[in-house]
């Protein structure tokens, strides 16, 4: 591998006002939901392995596994010093007992903020959340109301920082006018570069960090995805446009082009994809969605991959964002993204 020396994981600051975090964060979503059956013992072991490797940022959502993800993280962190971990929680997704989402928009009004936070704190077994963020904008609820309620929770000591998720430039400005924002969480990968033109300039102007999710395009850009992979009911990729039919075939051809470059670098496709996001700026912290220690170990080597300007140019030519077939969510999902409007 064309790599930097092994050592402690680099730290990055989440925006001007946010906490210092490891350069890679761990996204725990797939340990409970959306990516097929998950193994809780392996999830807990993966969280422990991440902490041992110097990862201190763990991202979850109160609706991931309808609370299961927070309960699992609470169990995993039981014997850890609370102040050693930065916990980021999204809130507001409205589930059904069958595992679906209610098509009513996110529950992010002022009363919901306090109510949902109360349950989150219990499930996590903690008395504060480091970064608390509405999972989506609800167009019927002013962002000022949501952020104002989080600010009250900060004043009372239950939350440390405000975060945002998948919102556009105008909403970011409105939110930041109520309270400083630590970071915007948004999909960012070689395959999803939509934020670069209008959103990143605003986060940078306002001193807001970015926690990038989907850096492997939900496994598509990992080098491990196979066209014949069987998906269980409820797997997000079963209805994600990029994973369907001809779109999938076209996208996997891009991955194969990337694999050639990765092999020359003595790295894996996933490592190069993560290293690319890491290289987009010190204000960006990729969240890796590893569900197992094996996948985690692969991801953790990504910061050691050095990509020269020449290699970067080849990578971007091999996976031009405009050549990616299919949108990152289905029609309903895309419509719920303020960041895409």
Ligand X SMILES: NC(=O)c1ccc[n+]([C@@H]2O[C@H](COP(=O)([O-])OP(=O)(O)OC[C@H]3O[C@@H](n4cnc5c(N)ncnc54)[C@H](OP(=O)(O)O)[C@@H]3O)[C@@H](O)[C@H]2O)c1
Say whether residue 50 binds ligand X (CB under 6 A): no
Interface stretch with ligand X, choices 48-56, 103-111, 213-221, 316-324 (CB under 6 A): 213-221
Which residues does 310 contact at the CB level (< 8 Å), separation at least 6? none
Among 63, 128, 188, 213, binds ligand X (CB under 6 A): 213
In the complex with ligand X, the residue whose CB is nearer, 156 or 341, is 341
Candidate list 15, 30, 168, 209; residue touching ligand X; CB under 6 A = 30
Q: CA 266: distance to chain centroid?
A: 26
- Tokens representing 222 are 């990992």
Q: State yes or no: residue 258 binds ligand X (CB under 6 A).
A: no
Please, what sign has the CA dihedral across residues 270, 18, 51, 231? negative
- As measured in angstroms, the least distance from the Cβ of 288 to ligand X is 5
The residue among 82, 83, 90, 103 whose CA lies nearest residue 29 is 90
3-state percent helix, strand, coil for the chain, nearest multiple of 5: 45, 15, 40
Residue 100 structure tokens: 């679906």
Minimum distance between the CB of residue 270 and ligand X, rounded to whole angstroms?
A: 4
- The one segment of 141-149, 251-259, 291-299, 323-331 that binds ligand X by CB under 6 A: 291-299
| Long-range contacts of the stretch 262-265 (C-beta < 8 A, 24+) | 262/223, 265/1, 265/2, 265/305, 265/307, 265/311
27 part of the interface to ligand X, by CB under 6 A: yes
Interface pick for ligand X out of 89, 287, 311, 315 (rule CB under 6 A)? 287
Name the one range near ligand X by CB under 6 A: 21-29, 40-48, 93-101, 114-122: 21-29
Tokens representing 328 are 């990152």
Q: Is 64 a catalytic residue?
A: yes
What is the nearest approach in angstroms of ligand X to the Cβ of residue 290? 4
Considering the complex, state which of residue 198 and residue 313 has its C-beta at the smaller distance from ligand X: 198
Regarding 295 and contact with ligand X (CB under 6 A), the answer is: yes
* The one segment of 96-104, 115-123, 258-266, 292-300 that binds ligand X by CB under 6 A: 292-300
166 part of the interface to ligand X, by CB under 6 A: yes
For residues 300 and 258, give the distance between their C-alpha atoms in angstroms, rounded to a whole number: 19
- According to CB under 6 A, which one of 270, 277, 278, 319 is a site residue for ligand X? 270
Inter-residue contact 209 to 323 (CB < 8 Å):
no
Single out the residue of 68, 161, 179, 218 in contact with ligand X (rule: CB under 6 A): 218
DSSP 65-128: GGGHHHHHHHHHTTTS-GGG-EEEEEE---B-TTS-B-TT----SHHHHHHHHHHHHHHHT-S-
Which 168-197 residues touch ligand X, going by CB under 6 A?
A: 185
The encoded tokens of residue 174 equal: 């409105």
Catalytic residue among 35, 64, 158, 329: 64
Q: Catalytic residue numbers?
A: 64
Q: What residues make contact with ligand X under the rule CB under 6 A?
A: 27-30, 35, 59, 90, 165-166, 185, 213-219, 222, 224, 270, 287-292, 295, 298-299
């Amino acid at each position: 591998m064309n790599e930097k020396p092994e050592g402690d994981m680099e730290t990055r600051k989440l925006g001007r006002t946010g906490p210092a975090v490891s350069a890679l964060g761990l996204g725990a979503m797939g340990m409970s939901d959306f990516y097929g059956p998950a193994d809780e013992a392996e999830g807990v072991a993966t969280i422990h392995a991440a902490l041992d490797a110097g990862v201190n940022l763990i991202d979850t959502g109160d609706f991931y596994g309808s609370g299961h993800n927070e309960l699992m993280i609470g169990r995993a962190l039981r014997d850890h010093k609370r102040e050693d971990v930065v916990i980021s929680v999204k809130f507001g997704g409205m589930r059904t007992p069958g595992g679906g989402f209610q098509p009513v928009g996110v529950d992010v009004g002022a009363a919901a903020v306090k109510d949902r936070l109360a349950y989150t704190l219990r499930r996590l077994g903690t008395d504060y959340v480091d970064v608390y963020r509405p999972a989506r904008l609800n167009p019927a609820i002013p962002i000022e109301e949501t952020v104002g309620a989080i600010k009250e929770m900060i004043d009372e000591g239950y939350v440390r920082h405000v975060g945002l998720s998948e919102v556009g430039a105008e909403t970011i400005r409105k939110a930041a006018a109520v309270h400083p924002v630590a970071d915007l969480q948004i999909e960012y990968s070689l395959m999803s570069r939509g934020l670069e033109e209008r959103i990143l300039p605003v986060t940078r102007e306002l001193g807001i960090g970015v926690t990038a999710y989907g850096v492997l395009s939900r496994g598509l850009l990992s080098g491990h995805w196979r066209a014949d992979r069987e998906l269980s009911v409820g797997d997000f990729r079963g209805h994600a446009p990029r994973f369907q039919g001809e779109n999938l075939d076209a996208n996997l051809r891009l991955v194969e082009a990337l694999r050639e470059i990765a092999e020359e670098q003595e790295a894996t496709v996933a490592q190069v994809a993560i290293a690319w996001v890491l290289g987009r700026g010190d204000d960006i912290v990729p969240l890796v969605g590893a569900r197992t220690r094996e996948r985690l170990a692969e991801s953790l080597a990504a910061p050691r991959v050095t990509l020269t300007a020449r290699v970067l140019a080849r990578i971007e030519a091999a996976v031009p964002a405009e050549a990616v077939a299919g949108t990152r969510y289905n029609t309903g999902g895309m419509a719920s993204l303020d960041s895409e409007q």
